Structure 1
Amino acid sequence: MASTDTANSPQSPAQSDLPRGTLSGDTQTLGERITIGVFIAVPFVALVAAIPIAWMGGYLSWLDVVLAVAFYAFTGHGVTVGFHRYFTHRAFKANRGVKNTLAIAGSMAVEGPVIRWVADHRRHHKFADKEGDPHSPWRYGETVPALIKGMFFAHMGWLFDVEQTDARKFAPDLIKDDDIRRISKLFPLWVALSLLLPPIIGGLATWSWHGALTAFFWATLVRVGLLHHVTWSINSICHAIGERPFESRDKSGNVWWLAFLSMGESWHNLHHADPTCARHGVLKGQIDSSARVIWALEKAGWAWDVRWPSPERIESKRVDDYGGEATLIAD
């Protein structure tokens, strides 16, 4: 299948072909801010209500669990493998089918269109924990009150920032890719599929409205809410606390208890020390399911030129006298 390298396309897309929020000078409208608020608040309420509802009995089935886990893994890896390691950092190359599937899967995480997500994250790396970083928890200073305010901003307050990242500056390669520009523009469609597929499957599998309703609660609302807050925790928690075994120019840290749910993204210190590395959990015992997905794609012949870590490169970035044995993906 065709390569995804479209950065040298001779023609620039028409301005009308781009999703809102990707043009220089664009600002969020009131309607967009209200929509973001709804998509944050409703899944969060469901997430809070999940434990008492599960405790009541009759409102959680094995089908709900399977659907929630499956959609969490599919959309979550769409963000971690696709939006992050592939589109943002080019940690590997992939064929067109994988490229487009990752873009759609990441869009179904309901974290914004792929072009906007990538532009924001590239800007984050350029100005990590300094002025210009769109979501640093150190934005307001290092005192306890300032850090509390900064943590909230880094976690989700930044999503309401009126000024949008200039994608023409930070993601010109994606803007020139016809497939990705089209997928980004169709973001509302991917959101609708993400929200509606679980209850459709649940309703058809049980042939009941009850099955559709419980699937919507667990595999749509709770799943989206959990994935949102795990993703945002990388911006907030992993830039405030955690071990720092590798040299980086910011405050990124490794937070082990987020590793499983974040699919390896919370090994954040190594990521900022070596952003293009395809594996973030490079020390022995560090879970990184995103790296395993990339490994599987490579074995299938669908991905290549993967930037796997080498012991020598890891050692060159390690803080002096910090313990821990490096591991390779083949281990």
Structure 2
Amino acid sequence: MNTTPDVIDDARTPAADGPVPPSATLGGDNKRSIEQIALLLFIVVPFVALVAAVPLAWGRGVSWLDLGLLVAMYFTGVHGITIGFHRYFTHGSFKAKRPLRIALAVAGSLAVEGPLVRWVADHRKHHRFSDAEGDPHSPWRFGETLPALMKGLWWAHIGWMFDEEQTPQHKYAPDLVRDPALRGISRHFLTLTIVSLAIPPLIGGLVTMSWWGAATAFFWGSLVRVALLHHVTWSINSICHAVGKRPFKSRDRSGNVWWLAVLSCGESWHNLHHADPTSARHGVMKGQVDSSARLIRWFEKLGWAYDVRWPDASRIDSRRIDSRRESARADAA
């Protein structure tokens, strides 16, 4: 299914005055060496902090304020990605009034997962070629043997981000490129990254009135938070395309991984998402927690979001795999 619309919300996508040059978006379509080095630092440093978190916590190097900042910043960033970057900007699962549109773009940028336009372009390309040649981050890229899959999982989780050739943003995200406000937010990704990392130590320092309070808040609310957020969301690319239950028909290997549902805010119900990419809710079966869908519902009730593409029973059933029929086919084979 092609999920790369030319315009997500034509009524609210201002046209540019003439063609927009490739330099209008951060990084363009090629990743320079300096960007790759910066990316490596943003992966390694928070990961080292995450590894160090357990012994530090054991030695009482964490306070309730630190944990509160971690949780608050984590779920702000994750929902910015899941609701904003993914369900809204990439797939158009709902329409949003402009204040919400800008807020989602900023919140997603605070997750430190890359500029908005580049993120959306990569994900639309992923859906166009999901688990086939052309997919930027399929774990099946190198084959189906165990060694090939191990290599593919690493590629899907982290490795693909260091690929120098990037997805053409003007081809896969023209609607975002044409919006000056969104283009500006995307270009100021590095500034928003600094803001994201600075908020916890600023709050921690002011509340405790100490440098130590600022330091522990930075460790937990900035470094550990970013590392945890990255690896949870990257797991959707890797783990959820290698394992998990597949109750719905899709043309790829996307699966549901229940133990990632809460931390991924509903994104790990990945099989339904690839079976019906524009659905505003991914966890459609009983007991499937999807906090992103819940927030979209609240936005709708407040009048901030509208034309929400909620799945109905007939649409879900049309995509469901008949387990008895599949079992009969297997027995016949």
Q: Which residue does 1:197 correspond to in 2?
A: 199
Amino acid in the other structure paired with 2:148? A
| Structure 1 pair 305–52 and aligned structure 2 pair: CA distance change class (3 A) | same
Distance (Å, rounded) in 1 between the aligned partners of 2:65 and 2:197: 16
Distance (Å, rounded) in 2 between the aligned partners of 1:4 and 1:103: 17
Q: Which residue does 2:275 correspond to in 1?
A: 273
The structure 2 residue matched to 1:300, chosen from 289, 299, 302, is 302
Distance (Å, rounded) in 1 between the aligned partners of 2:214 and 2:162: 32
Q: Which residue does 2:239 correspond to in 1?
A: 237
| Structure 1 pair 225–12 and aligned structure 2 pair: CA distance change class (3 A) | farther
Amino acid in the other structure paired with 2:312? S
Residue 69 (structure 2) pairs with residue 41 (structure 1): no
The answer to whether the Cα contact below 8 Å between 1:94 and 1:303 also exists between their aligned partners in 2 is: yes
Distance (Å, rounded) in 2 between the aligned partners of 1:229 and 1:164: 21
Alignment of 1:89-100 (within 5 A): 89-100=91-102
Shift of 1:189: 1.1
Deviations 1:243-278 (A, max 9, x none): 000000000000000000000000000000000000
Report SS of the residue matched to 1:5.
helix
Gaps of 5+ in 2: 1-8, 325-333
Distance (Å, rounded) in 2 between the aligned partners of 1:205 and 1:252: 44
Structure 1: which 4+ aligned runs deviate by more than 2 Å? 3-14, 19-22
The answer to whether the Cα contact below 8 Å between 1:239 and 1:252 also exists between their aligned partners in 2 is: yes
The answer to whether the Cα contact below 8 Å between 2:95 and 2:306 also exists between their aligned partners in 1 is: yes
The structure 2 residue matched to 1:54, chosen from 52, 57, 61, is 57
The structure 2 residue matched to 1:5, chosen from 5, 11, 26, is 11
The structure 2 residue matched to 1:63, chosen from 65, 74, 77, is 65
Distance (Å, rounded) in 2 between the aligned partners of 1:172 and 1:188: 22
TM-score normalised over the length of structure 1: 0.93
Amino acid in the other structure paired with 1:46? A
The answer to whether the Cα contact below 8 Å between 2:26 and 2:115 also exists between their aligned partners in 1 is: no
| Structure 1 pair 77–4 and aligned structure 2 pair: CA distance change class (3 A) | farther
Deviations 1:111-133 (A, max 9, x none): 00000000000000000000000
Q: Which residue does 1:188 correspond to in 2?
A: 190
Q: Which residue does 1:79 correspond to in 2?
A: 81
Distance (Å, rounded) in 2 between the aligned partners of 1:316 and 1:12: 43
Report SS of the residue matched to 2:299.
helix
Shift of 1:29: 1.1
The answer to whether the Cα contact below 8 Å between 2:20 and 2:178 also exists between their aligned partners in 1 is: no
Shift of 1:7: 4.6
Residue 135 (structure 2) pairs with residue 129 (structure 1): no
Deviations 1:162-202 (A, max 9, x none): 00100111000000111100111111111010000100000
The answer to whether the Cα contact below 8 Å between 2:14 and 2:179 also exists between their aligned partners in 1 is: no
The structure 1 residue matched to 2:111, chosen from 93, 100, 109, is 109
Distance (Å, rounded) in 2 between the aligned partners of 1:8 and 1:114: 17
Report SS of the residue matched to 1:261.
coil
Q: Which residue does 1:329 correspond to in 2?
A: none
Amino acid in the other structure paired with 1:252? S
Q: Which residue does 1:290 correspond to in 2?
A: 292
User: Once superposed, what is the RMSD of the aligned Cα atoms?
Assistant: 1.3
Deviations 1:282-321 (A, max 9, x none): 0000000000110110011100000001011000000003
Gaps of 5+ in 1: 323-331
